[in-house]
Amino acid sequence: MARSESVVINEVGPRDGLQNQARVLAPAQRVQLIESLLATGISAVEVGAFVSPKAVPAMAGTDEVVAALPPGAADYSVLVPNLRGYELAREAGCTTVNLVVAASNTMNEKNIRMSTADAMAVSRDVLARASEAGIAVQAYVATAWECPFEGAVSAAEVMRLSGDLLEAGAANIVLADTIGAASPGAVETLAAEAVDAFGSERLTCHFHDTRAFGVANTYAALGAGIRRFDASIGGLGGCPFAPGASGNIATEDLVLLLGQEGFSTGVELSALLRSVQLVGELTGACVGGRAWRWLTLQQEKGRLRGEQVVR
Ligand code: COA
Ligand code: ZN
């Protein structure tokens, strides 16, 4: 792998992380969390979701969150499950929206109450409107390796949906292991096929750490040429509609891996640890990635320098 390259981390804790917490945060607390993330130097943050507040109470008030954020401090995005969500995001002034289409029909039915075909039709509609409005669209292809209801997912279906979404105007495809069931070999195979077909600059990987494969899967995707990853502060998260899913790969684990492998992320580790502490206090949940304890110890020894741990 070529070193000294930069890798973009898209922080999804304020959406994927918070949507599944027992404690629902007020918009002002979500803004406080996002501001602490901005202080780490992170360049992209998914700040919320325009979804039904009945379906996901934790994301109610995303319009207030968006309005309170310092403009231009990072690339902000919001999740939108349907046309209604897109319109709300546009009215709130969002410049990037995240669509979600699962590569499994049952997952689409459970998550957004649409078949895959209907979800694709809605996506094309949103993509056309967004293009006219100058809004960028990232398209998540969820359950890209395994579905909690249907089991193994066909790579051909993932490639087909990704190709169609790009052709319809998506700026980026996020290959999402929604339940954290993929293993490194399968990640490498699909990521390599996608990089070959679509180009690395149009791809992101999104891993959950359910089986402790988050870092291994990231490494496999890096090897296949992926240079953009989602991660969640403290490993917070899980999908309320995907049984068994746990949190995303922790941002601190990802920054540590990338820094040690010589990739640049621009994320400052000590600021990131302050953010982990804050999200723990706000949610009352036990958070912290797999490396959190060790990183805290390194911090006490004064060994954190920017994105690196030095001796
Ligand atoms: N934002 C806010 N409210 C929305 C909405 C949106 N994007 N889309 C629909 N609604 C509201 C409707 O106004 C309606 O409200 P009412 O009951 O007060 O009349 C209610 O939700 C149901 O609307 P309907 O069009 O029948 O949607 P549905 O019942 O088929 O639900 C979703 C579909 C997508 C809105 C809902 O399942 C949802 O928000 N899911 C969240 C998905 C998610 O965040 N998953 C995790 C991340 S992948
Ligand atoms: Zn996720």
Residue 291 lies inside a defined structural domain of this protein: yes
Residue 2 lies inside a defined structural domain of this protein: no
Residue 63 token pair: 């319009």
Asked whether 51 lines ligand 1 (CB < 6 A), one says yes
Q: What is the C-alpha separation between 119 and 99, in angstroms, rounded?
A: 9
Distance of CA 51 to the CA centre of its chain: 16
Q: What is the C-alpha separation between 96 and 87, in angstroms, rounded?
A: 12
Distance 52 CA to ligand 1 centre (A): 4
Report the chain's C-alpha Rg in angstroms.
18
Residue 134 lies inside a defined structural domain of this protein: yes
The domain that holds 177 is classified in CATH as 3.20.20.70
Distance 87 CA to ligand 2 centre (A): 23
Distance 302 CA to ligand 2 centre (A): 33
pTM of the model: 0.96
Per-residue burial over 257-273, b = 16 or more CB atoms within 10 Å of its CB, e = otherwise: bbbeeebebebbbbbbb
pLDDT per residue, tens digit, the chain (311 aa), is 655 699 999 999 999 999 989 899 999 999 999 999 999 999 999 999 999 999 999 999 999 999 999 999 999 999 999 999 999 999 999 999 999 999 999 999 999 999 999 999 999 999 999 999 999 999 999 999 999 999 999 999 999 999 999 999 999 999 999 999 999 999 999 999 999 999 999 999 999 999 999 999 999 999 999 999 999 999 998 556 666 668 999 999 999 999 999 999 999 999 999 999 999 999 988 788 999 999 999 999 999 999 999 98
Residue 47 token pair: 């700040």
Q: Do the beta carbons of residue 9 and residue 255 sit within 8 Å?
A: yes
Residue 93 lies inside a defined structural domain of this protein: yes
Count how many residues are written for the chain: 311
Residue 124 lies inside a defined structural domain of this protein: yes
How many domains would you assign to the chain? Answer: 1
Residue 105 lies inside a defined structural domain of this protein: yes
Residue linked to tokens 């009215």: 91
Residue 61 token pair: 């008030």
Among residues 96, 95, 112, 94, the alpha carbon closest in space to that of 104 is found at 112
Residue 205 annotated to the active site = no
Distance 75 CA to ligand 1 centre (A): 25
Structural domain that includes position 160: 8-309
Asked whether 56 lines ligand 1 (CB < 6 A), one says yes
pLDDT score of 246 = 83
Atom 17, ligand 1: residue with shortest CA distance: 54
Residue 3 lies inside a defined structural domain of this protein: no
pLDDT score of 20 = 87
pLDDT score of 58 = 97
Asked whether 113 lines ligand 1 (CB < 6 A), one says yes
- Which amino acid type is present at position 251? T
Asked whether 211 lines ligand 1 (CB < 6 A), one says no
Residue 1 lies inside a defined structural domain of this protein: no
Q: What is the C-alpha separation between 13 and 37, in angstroms, rounded?
A: 9
Distance of CA 69 to the CA centre of its chain: 19
- C-alpha distance across the termini of the chain, in Å: 24
Asked whether 100 lines ligand 1 (CB < 6 A), one says yes
